Structure 1
Amino acid sequence: MVRKPVAAGMFYEDNKKKLDEQIIRCFKNQKFGPGDMPVTGRNKRLTGIIAPHAGYKFSGAGQAWCYKAVGESEFADIYIILGTSHAGFSDAATLLEDFETPFGEVKVDEKFAKSLIDKGAVKEDKMAHQQEHSIEVQLPFLQFTEKKKIEDIKIVPVVVGKEADYKRLGKAIADTAKQMEKKVILICSSDFTHHGIHYGYVPFRRNVEKKLEEFDKSFIKWIEEMDSWSFLNNVEETGATICGRYAIAAFIEACRALGASKVRVEQYYTSGDVTGDWSNAVGYASIIVE
């Protein structure tokens, strides 16, 4: 069985050639993106990335910053993709089916995924992934960045909900990677604060552009310090609408357990910066963990 794309034609182009051109534009975006393509052969150290997951016309340039780091690092045996559940699934769920995008199929590493299931860190649940876009929208960027080895890409997709034991999940990912002697790169898929009446969250009435950035950076600070508890605690205390907060917490735990030591914020901007509409705006951060 193969999971068919649900976001193609909406979040990103559903035509292979147009999708390729769209991603190139994201990389070459001088204002919000890195402005150039990944330089292959650098083999930089990389433990993981936190990348946005909105439509490419909004957040694709932010994603490009993250995948530039992926493209300039050593090819991983497995890419662990942690997403959120916009449908409200509350646990941690993986999928054993391969994924399809306009660039072709992406294989799921069943052995690694089943090890996480055996450790009690995740469940297998097709419904949790059926209509979820947060993991899917990362795949075309990954395939594009690693196109020379596109047939060798293996992933483990995990949707992380509010009832998930994020510490257990993070530890299980790191333990499994070590036990299987696999080089993994973590990909956490999350936007930051969704502000506006459309999102039911309006803490700021004036100077939204400035205040939204300051607000998001107050949470990013805890990611930089790799403090998952303080990150989640502050999100919950403020009610911040960071959709992938539980995925981020699990990501932090996994990165720590894998020995990561450096966090770098490459870019931050919002949909308001792109559209000029601040009545409803979403924050996008491009974060690299080495």
Structure 2
Amino acid sequence: MKTPLYDLKVDAEINKELAEVGFTYIPKQADEDEHSIEMHLPYIAKVMEDFRDQFTIVPIMVGGLTPEKEEFYGEKLAKYLADPQNLFVISSDFCHWGERFRYTNYDESCGPIYKSIENLDRQGMSIIESLNPKEFTKYLKNCGNTICGRHPIGVLLQSISTLQARNYKMSLQFLKYDQSSKCRDFSDSSVSYASASLIFE
């Protein structure tokens, strides 16, 4: 895969393994329409620049999934997540708030709108840190938070759950949270961002 820095090599062997257990290749048009992978590959290339000829990548796009499908794919990815030679990058924004996103959930008891958004996001972050996929699904159903990568997060949580059943010990901690702007009025809009790290203990 091409980046402005250098080309990244896709791991054909692992792609084949995943195809054999239920992963599918996306149609060319869907691939061309989706831009998220293009946003991440240059950063991965930069971070890994000193090892440019020593690693491969396995890009996985996650669309709309049922909780059952999240569990299915999470189980299939668990062995790769457990391998210390592998690095997983799970991408998601958090709340997309505003009329243009058709989401204006607001709890007045939190104060200004941006504080309500943060409270909503931090509830979700806390559940993700608890590594409980069912609670995360319940949270999304109850509040409808517009976390665009909710399904990749769900797959990750299911993968972690699979490994926990095999006595792996892990912890996940959010490191930073921010918003693109501070919404104070219903004519405002913002997108939230959060970063976290998963550690095997």
TM-score after normalising by structure 2: 0.84
Which residue of structure 1 aligns with residue 42 of structure 2?
A: 140
In structure 2, which of residues 142, 157, 171 is the aligned counterpart of residue 252 of structure 1?
157
What does the per-residue CA deviation read over 1:4-29, in whole Å, with 9 as the maximum and x for residues that have no partner? xxxxxxxxxxxxxxxxxxxxxxxxxx
Which residue of structure 1 aligns with residue 121 of structure 2?
A: 216
Distance 2:174 2:56 in 1: 26
Which residue of structure 2 aligns with residue 115 of structure 1?
A: 17
Any residues of structure 2 matched to 1:258-277 within 5 Å, and which? 258=163, 259-272=168-181
Contact in 1 for aligned 2:10/2:58 (Cα 8 Å): yes
Cα separation, partners in 2 of 1:157 and 1:276, compared to 1, 3 Å: farther
Structure number with higher strand proportion:
1
For structure 1, the residue ranges without an aligned partner over 5 or more in a row are: 1-98
In structure 2, which of residues 50, 54, 57 is the aligned counterpart of residue 152 of structure 1?
54
Distance 1:252 1:245 in 2: 10
What does the per-residue CA deviation read over 1:119-155, in whole Å, with 9 as the maximum and x for residues that have no partner? 11x2111333222122221211111111101233311
Which residue of structure 1 aligns with residue 134 of structure 2?
A: 229
Contact in 1 for aligned 2:132/2:161 (Cα 8 Å): no
Which residue of structure 2 aligns with residue 169 of structure 1?
A: 73
Distance 2:87 2:160 in 1: 9
Cα separation, partners in 2 of 1:124 and 1:160, compared to 1, 3 Å: same
Q: What's the secondary structure of 1:263's corresponding residue? A: strand
Q: What's the secondary structure of 1:160's corresponding residue? A: coil
Matched residue type, 1:215? L
Any residues of structure 2 matched to 1:29-178 within 5 Å, and which? 99-120=1-22, 122-125=23-26, 126-163=28-65, 165-175=69-79
Contact in 2 for aligned 1:189/1:244 (Cα 8 Å): yes
**Offset at 1:227?**
0.8
Contact in 2 for aligned 1:266/1:288 (Cα 8 Å): yes
Cα separation, partners in 2 of 1:182 and 1:113, compared to 1, 3 Å: farther
For structure 2, the residue ranges without an aligned partner over 5 or more in a row are: none
Matched residue type, 1:213? E
Structure number with higher helix proportion:
2
What does the per-residue CA deviation read over 1:54-106, in whole Å, with 9 as the maximum and x for residues that have no partner? xxxxxxxxxxxxxxxxxxxxxxxxxxxxxxxxxxxxxxxxxxxxx21211211
Distance 1:276 1:196 in 2: 11
RMSD: 2.4
Contact in 2 for aligned 1:116/1:176 (Cα 8 Å): no
Cα separation, partners in 2 of 1:108 and 1:255, compared to 1, 3 Å: farther
What does the per-residue CA deviation read over 1:238-273, in whole Å, with 9 as the maximum and x for residues that have no partner? 221110100100012223445351111110011015
User: Is 1:238 aligned to residue 143 of structure 2?
Assistant: yes
